[in-house]
Structure 1
Amino acid sequence: MPRYLLLFNRGSGGNERGLDASEVARTVEDILREAGHEVSSTIVEPGGLDRALEKGLAAKPDAIIVAGGDGSVSAAARHLGGTEVALGILPMGTFNLAARDLGVPLEMEAAARFLATAQPMLIDVLDVAGQACLCTTILGFYPEFAKTFERRDHGGQWWRKTLKLVTGLPKYFARARPLHLSWREEDGSTGNAKTKFSAFVPGRYKAAAGIVPARTEFRSGEMTAYIGKQKHARAAMRGMLDYIFGRQEKNPELLHFKSSRLQLRGGSRRDCMLMLDGEILRMVFPIEMEIKPAHLLVLTTPESIADEKEAA
C-alpha cells in the first residue's frame, strides 16, 4: 500500500482566498484512502515548511504531497530532487503554475482524485544558484513590479494580478533600469544583451494562446532562455500580446536559445532581484543555472507531460 504524506502550508496564498487547510486535509485524506493509499497529514505553520520536508523525508514515504503555492512547490522540489520520494501538488497558491504544467486540476477534490491515480514520473529541474526552479526564473522589471503589489495583495485571484500586470506594464517598464546581461554557456560560447525582461525556463514555453504561461519538454535536458531586447513600453506591450497569442518565439525583439548550463553576469551590477517560481529573491552575480535531467519524481500522467509536438 503506497504511503503518502500530506503537508499543508498554512502560509500559502490560497488561505487568503478562503481555503481552510484543515478542511481540505480531511477531504483529500478521504479521497486518497478510498483509492487504497495509506495517508497522514500535517498542517505546517508559516516558515516551517523546510523542517517539515526534512522530517517527512526521514520517514521515507512513497510521496509527499504539498498543498501550497509555487514557492512551496519549489522548496519541496529542492528537498525531494534526487531522492526516490515523489512530489505531489495540491494547488493552494495564486497562479499554481507547477500544478497547471503537470495537469493537476485547480479544484481541490478534483486535484485529490487526480493525485490518487497519478503515477511517479521523472522530470528535469532547473538549478538556479542552489534553488530548484520548476516553472520559470525571471529577471528585470517584473520582480520589482510584483514585489510592489504582492505587499498589498498576498494571495488573491490570479486573474486580478494578471490584469494589474497588463495595465501597469507601460509605467513599470518605462521606469525599469535595464540590465546589461551577459552569459556563458557550457561549451564556452557567450552572448550579451541590454534587457529589461529575461526568463529562463526548464524545457520551453508552449506556442499556445493563453494568459498563464504553460511549459512543454519536461525531459529534454535543456532550458530555454528568453531575452527581451525591447527598449520602450510600446514594444514591451507588443511582446506581451505575442506571448498571449502563442507567437512569442516569432517576436523580432526576443532572443531565445536553448542550453543545458549558463553563467549569468550583470555588467557592473553586483546583484539583482529575480522571481523564481513566484518567490522574489535577491541573488549575487555570477548566477549559475544548470538543468538537472530527470532529477525529480512527480505525481502526474504521461499525457500531462507529453511534449507539445507529441501531443499535436
Structure 2
Amino acid sequence: MNDLSAVSSSAQLAMKADAPLFIVLNAGSGKHDAGDTQQTLAGIFDAAGRRHEFLLLDSATDIESRAKQAVRLACEQGGIVVAAGGDGTINGVAQHVLGHPCAFGVLPQGTFNYFGRVHGISQETEVAAKALLRAIPTPVQVGLVNEKVFLVNASLGLYTKLLEDRETAKAQLGRSRLVAMGAGLMTLMRERRQLRLTLEARGQSRSIRTPSVFVGNNRLQFDRLGLPEGEALEHGQLAAIVVKPTRALAMLGLALRGALGRLGDADNLIRFPMHRLTVHPHRHRMIKVATDGEVNHLRAPLVFRVAPEPLLLMVPAPEDRVEVK
C-alpha cells in the first residue's frame, strides 16, 4: 500500500457518516442567487438529517477569516469543510484546510471548475450536494508556489496579465464569455513584455526570456489543451509550460491551438514535468503570480513544488461520479 492509499484508508475509518458540514458559500459565484443556493443546500441536508452550518462570504477579503473559522469548527467537531463557489473560492478555502486533520468538500459554482470536474463532482449544485452526503475522503495532490496553494494551475507573465485585463473588462462591461474572450484577444495583441528569468529544475539551470510561465496541477486542463505532460500529474509531479519569445500573431496561434486541443503540436513551447521548479526573476523582488485565477504578489525567488501532504477531498462514490464531457 502506498502513502496516499494509507492516508485514504485511515481517513475512511475515522470519518463518521454523519460528520457535520461547515459550508463556506460565496455569494458572488455562479449563475444563481446566493440566497437561493443556500436554501437549496439547506433543504437537501435537512432532508438527509445532516447537521450543517453556512459561513457566507460577502467579498474576497472574507475568505481567510471564514475559512479559518470553518477549519476550527470542523477540527473541533470531526466535521468537513465545504467550499461552495468558483475556482478562486475553492482555492482560498483549500489554502487553510491543507495541513489540518479535516476533510474538504467542494460544491462547484464557477465557470470552468477544473478541480471539481477532474474528480467527478457534478457542476449542478443539487446533484453535487447529494453526492457529498455519500462521498469518500480521498487524498489528492496539491501544488504550492512559495507556500501559496494551487489546485489547478499557477502562472506568471502573460497569463496573469490576461486574468487582470479580463476582470477589468468584466467590471466595466459585465460578466460574460464574450467579454472575457474580447479582453483576452486585446491583451494578446497589445502585450509585448518579456520576463527575464533563470529556471532551476531537475538539477539544471537555464536563463531565458519568455512572455509567460505556466505550471499545471490538473490533468483535465492539460488534456483539453492537448498537452501530454498531464500524465505526469498522476505520478506525483507538476508540469511546466514555458513560452519562447513570440510575436503577437504567433501568440494568437497558440491560443487557437489551445482552443482546438492541439497545443502539444506547437514548437514554440518548452514543456517538462518536475517535482520542483525554482524561478529567479531578474531585477524583481516581488512578482505577480496567478493561482487558480487569483492574482497575488509573491516574493522572489518563486518555488513551485508538490505539497508534502495531500488534501483530503470528499470524492463522489463511484455511482455518483459525473463523467467529464
With the shorter chain as reference, the TM-score category is 0.7 to 0.9
Q: Does structure 1 residue 29 correspond to structure 2 residue 45?
A: no
Shift of 1:228: 0.8
8 A contact 1:140–1:176 mirrored in 2: no
User: Which of 51, 61, 86 is the matching residue for 1:38?
Assistant: 51
Q: Map 1:100-249 onto structure 2 (within 5 A).
A: 100-154=117-171, 157=175, 159-165=177-183, 167-172=185-190, 175-185=191-201, 187-202=202-217, 204=219, 208-209=223-224, 219-249=234-264
> Are the counterparts in 2 of residues 203 and 219 from structure 1 also a CA contact under 8 Å?
no
TM-score under structure 1 normalisation?
0.83
Corresponding residue SS for 2:206: strand
Return closer, same or farther for 1:295/1:205 CA change in 2, 3 Å cut-off: same
Structure 1 residue 272: deviation in Å?
2.4
Aligned residues: 297
Mapped contact 1:203–1:216 kept (Cα < 8 A): no
Distance 1:206 1:56 in 2: 29
Structure whose residues are more often helix by fraction: 2
Moved more, 275-284 or 90-99: 90-99
TM-score, with structure 2 as normaliser: 0.80
RMSD over aligned CA atoms reads 3.0
1:56, distance to aligned residue in structure 2 (A)? 1.8
Give the structure 2 partner of residue 263 of structure 1: 278
Query: Counterparts of 1:170 and 1:284 in 2: how far apart (Å)?
Result: 26
Seen in structure 2, the aligned counterparts of structure 1 residues 255 and 301 have a Cα distance that, compared at 3 Å, is farther
Q: Distance in 1 between matches of 2:251 and 2:275?
A: 27
Stretches of 4+ aligned residues off by more than 4 angstroms: 154-158, 203-207, 215-219
Among candidates 59, 63, 76, match of residue 49 of structure 1: 63
Q: Give the alignment partner of residue 63 of structure 1, picking from 63, 68, 80.
A: 80
Gaps of 5+ in 2: 1-17
CA deviations over 1:30-52 (Å, ceiling 9, x no partner): 22343453222222332222112
- Aligned 8 A contact 1:94 1:156 in 2: no
Superposed CA deviations along residues 84-118 of structure 1, whole A, max 9, x for unmatched, are 31222222334333223333222322222232332
Quick one: which amino acid aligns to residue 72 of structure 1? T
Q: Which amino acid aligns with 1:50?
A: E
Report if aligned partners of 1:121, 1:298 keep a CA contact under 8 Å in 2: yes
Structure number with the higher strand fraction is: 1
1:289 CA drift (Å): 1.4
Shift of 1:124: 0.9
Deviation at residue 224 of structure 1 after TM alignment: 0.3
**Structure 1 residues without counterparts, runs of 5 or longer:** none
Return the letter of the residue paired with 2:196.
Answer: H
User: In 2 relative to 1, CA 256–158 (structure 1 residues): closer, same or farther, beyond 3 Å?
Assistant: farther
1:281 correspondence with 2:296: yes
Q: Percent identity?
A: 23
Quote how far apart the aligned CAs of 1:257 are: 0.6
1:182 partner SS: strand
